[in-house]
Chain A
């Protein structure tokens, strides 16, 4: 009969030490578990060039869900359960609607570098504050105007939206497939200036008429990729509803395309970060927004691979000029430059993108569908 071995105290201690040593990697792995941040944003914001550095430094992983257009963003968020998104990048004009729907958290102004912002308007951006409380922080912006192929349209011609009607480019004018920027530019063409979103019935009819008159020139309606390709392969010679955020990428690659703010004025797109309502990851999300507003984050943002934007803090602009003076020069992000985005705003040539004041978004969207089918 086999004798039963009784473990000694030393055996028990040995076994305990050995088990602990073997379990250590699993324990440390559990401690170091990566935090996932669900992000709702325009394409590119969750890519490595934007978030890679922050991910590595903070052991987080971004899970982006991309959209194109503010109403697309609202639609996506409305059909998701509360708390789906920890971080929301929104077009500034839609922040108010996010807030009204109770989809974003209140933020503490002291956490963000408002004193470093390059222009006073950016500190109190419309819709970002409600009853003195902060709900969203602007992180970048850019300008929309005439985007064109320099072989088909001269720089002088590009100084007016009228160049879209040039007979030589019939069938070669493309639209970024979102009603807001395109119809906004048509409103500017009609001379509505600062009141481009606040149209009475007569002005709205006139905008529709102007837009319809452009239809024979139009060669297509494109998403981001299609817009990019259309300009790159020369299929489209001019594009309505975009700006340097697309042509900038192509221009850097040597394509003969560029964007300018015409004499009728341009539109500013503005992107802002908000913290998703009810997220348990508010602290790390806040840290990320702070990172994006730091000079390093602003330089990443200004040179974003998917589409460039303007740095909106003084620190960001300064560092961009040090790290990539060529890009700073190209985009006018140099103090005193004639095409300095801040100068353009101060001169009244730039209008912040907004939603229609006297019509509903549905009215504009319905007309857009009618226009596409014309």
Chain B
């Protein structure tokens, strides 16, 4: 039986990996460890003092309003993910299968354009559109309808999340669908598979990874977003990101804000890992 040779340290490979390791260490692992430590600190006279107390965890996790906010944030992020996926899919399917390569390239270019403008600016534009005296209610009034309250509601928040996520989800879905071997779709049709059945039994399973990655991005961005729930949702009720701002703004309670942030990170990691695990399961 051959004895495997001990692996040598490949200096070339290490040299290329080192910048990423240093970067992640400095800007992700380091701050994360500090945040974990900070969640046990105490605040006295608006100043943080190093300590190892569980009081911040107890204080935050035993408050009913934290859990209300947690489940609201979760619900809104799930809703935004589902809506984005459902709205994006027909469009990305169209771009992937029904248009020429040139049209697809132009479409991708136009989908990237929104990222040239600040997200905050786009949200302020939505305020003008959704307001009582805004563009949409103005259009409704021509038919004797409205005005409807859209700003400072959960609908407003959802519109903000879609503004953030839809172009990205569309791009990811389009790339994923465009890479499917078209001959497999044709084969399904030749074997008598209807359009809808082809989508569910051929297209979606083949594009599963891309679809799930798009959905995960959407969930992550929505779950942590502060701008949409604050400026379009009227902070009513506040999501976890607003709670972090409130907690750190008042009374310098950074340790409690760290507890909220860590709860968010745990949730995001759980969702991201389980989703990616699901996406790659059948490909092993």
| Residues of A bordering B, CB below 8 Å | 69, 71-72, 74-75, 77-79, 97, 100-101, 171, 174, 177, 179, 218-222, 226, 229-230, 233-235, 361-362, 365-366, 368-370, 372-374
Contacts and interface: CB of A to CB of B under 8 A. Distances in A.
A75 B249 contact: yes
A370 B251 contact: no
B226 to A, nearest CB: 12
A69 B250 contact: yes
A373 B260 CA distance: 15
Interface of B: 45-48, 63-65, 68-69, 127, 131-134, 149, 151-152, 230-231, 233-238, 243, 246-252
6 residue pairs, one from A and one from B, having the closest CB atoms: A220-B234, A373-B65, A78-B46, A75-B252, A220-B152, A221-B235
B68 A361 contact: no
A220 B235 contact: yes
Contacts of A75: 46, 248-252
A373 B237 contact: yes
A229 B131 CA distance: 10
A53 B48 CA distance: 39
A302 to B, nearest CB: 29
B65 A72 contact: no
Given A234-B132, A373-B237, 15 more contacts: A72-B250, A74-B46, A74-B252, A75-B252, A174-B234, A218-B236, A220-B234, A221-B238, A222-B235, A230-B152, A233-B133, A234-B133, A362-B251, A366-B63, A372-B65
B238 A373 contact: yes
Contact of B250 (A221, A365, A374): A365
29 contacts: A69-B249, A71-B250, A74-B252, A75-B250, A77-B46, A78-B252, A79-B48, A100-B45, A171-B149, A174-B234, A219-B234, A220-B234, A221-B234, A221-B238, A226-B231, A226-B234, A233-B127, A233-B133, A234-B132, A234-B133, A235-B131, A361-B251, A365-B251, A369-B247, A372-B65, A372-B246, A373-B65, A373-B238, A374-B237
B249 A71 contact: yes
Contact of B132 (A222, A233, A368): A233
B243 A369 contact: yes
A68 to B, nearest CB: 8
A75 B233 CA distance: 26
Nearest to A75: B252
Contacts of B246: 369, 372
Nearest to A171: B149
Given A78-B47, A219-B236, A235-B132, A373 B252 contact: no
A233 B131 contact: yes
The secondary structure that dominates the B interface is: loop
Contacts of A235: 131-132, 151-152
A361 B250 contact: yes
Contact of B236 (A97, A221, A369, A370): A221
Contacts of B233: 220
Given A71-B249, A75-B251, A234-B133, A220 B236 contact: yes
Contacts of A79: 48, 252
Contacts of A74: 46, 252
A77 B149 CA distance: 39
Contacts of A171: 149
Contacts of B247: 369
Nearest to A79: B252
Contacts of B63: 366, 369-370
A14 B229 CA distance: 71
A361 B45 CA distance: 11
A370 B63 CA distance: 9
Contacts of B45: 78, 97, 100-101
Nearest to B47: A78
Contact of B68 (A100, A179, A368, A373): A373
A225 to B, nearest CB: 9
B235 A177 contact: yes
Contacts of A370: 63-65
Contacts of B149: 171, 219
Contacts of A78: 45-47, 252
Contacts of A218: 236
